[in-house]
Amino acid sequence: MRLAFISDIHGNATALEAVMKDLKEKAVDKVFVLGDLCYRGPEPKRSLELVQSLNCQVIKGNADEWVVRGVEEGEVPEQALDMMRKEREWTYSQLNEADIDYLQNLPTEIKTTISDLDIHAFHATPDSLFEVVVPFADDETIQEKLMGREANLYLYGHIHTPYIRFINGKAVVNLGSIGLPFDGSSQASYSLVDIQDRSIQASIVRVDYDIDEVIEKLQSSDYPNKEFLVNVWKNGRP
């Protein structure tokens, strides 16, 4: 069984299309989407429609929550709050009521069993859409924050920095980001998981996409924070 876990699309439909093409080429059996679909990119509506076309399990991320109810004080650095609220308002204006209802009613975690292996997937942590658990956190922190529920495989997004770790024989995977990577690579990132005879092989997949096309779409729009997005897409860092 070949599974793909993707997240943090952030309105970058061009990157998502490239990843969806890669999923077909790799003959993926099931796809799971771990949140942050629309906010902070030039094509929130088309990104949402592409996710829905996958007909798969989708959960909510913090950015989806922001689209629904706004960015609150204390959730982002004070100096970024005004601009991030403008970005949220722009994203909200590109969606209709059905889209907002869809985002609002997304669940916050996936629990599934495949080939007798238990999988727990969430956006940031099982208990929060916002908490940050970094790749270099010590084993005790990873266990406390991410591995509280019994499972063989744990997957999450949110930090836009992919990694794979094994702790006490269990795998912890961060998917990175489809549309807004923060790890120094401009390529889209997702995780591929192969399961056979209770054996897990997890990998991080990087996919090229046409960044110039995305920049052109952004520049032709009235998006309020263009320079930030262009810098991240080109350099893979905020």
Supply the DSSP string of 112-130, one letter for each residue: EEETTEEEEEESSBTTBSS
CA dihedral 124, 38, 32, 230 (to 10 degrees): -80
Give the mean pLDDT of 170-180: 97
What digits encode the pLDDT tens for the residues 47-59? 999 999 999 999 9
In the beta sheet, which residues pair with residue 170?
Answer: 167
Residues 67/41, Cβ–Cβ less than 8 Å: no
Does residue 25 lie within any of the structural domains?
A: yes
Q: What are phi and psi of 84, to 5 degrees?
A: -65, -30
Give the mean pLDDT of 195-209: 94
Examine the pLDDT at 197 and tell me if it is beyond 90: no
Does residue 135 lie within any of the structural domains?
A: no
Residue 142 confidence (pLDDT): 98
Q: What percent of the chain has pLDDT over 90?
A: 98
Give the residue, 198 or 208, on which the prediction is more confident: 208
Residue 198 confidence (pLDDT): 82
Query: In the structure, what pLDDT confidence band is assigned to residue 29 with cuts at 50, 70 and 90?
Result: very high
* Structural domains counted in the chain: 1
Domain limits for position 70: 2-110+176-235
Does residue 191 lie within any of the structural domains?
A: yes
| Tokens standing for residue 166 | 């094994």
Does residue 157 lie within any of the structural domains?
A: no
| Tokens standing for residue 5 | 């876990």
Query: In the structure, what pLDDT confidence band is assigned to residue 44 with cuts at 50, 70 and 90?
Result: very high
Does residue 134 lie within any of the structural domains?
A: no
Q: What is the CATH number of the domain that holds 16?
A: 3.60.21.10
For all residues of the chain together, what is the average pLDDT?
Answer: 97
Residue 33 confidence (pLDDT): 98
Distance of alpha carbon 80 from alpha carbon 95, whole angstroms:
23
Burial class (CB in 10 A: 0-12, 13-18, 19+), 135: middle
Does residue 219 lie within any of the structural domains?
A: yes
Give the mean pLDDT of 125-137: 97
Residue 110 confidence (pLDDT): 98
Does residue 202 lie within any of the structural domains?
A: yes
Does residue 60 lie within any of the structural domains?
A: yes
Residue 48 confidence (pLDDT): 98
Examine the pLDDT at 134 and tell me if it is beyond 90: yes
Examine the pLDDT at 154 and tell me if it is beyond 90: yes
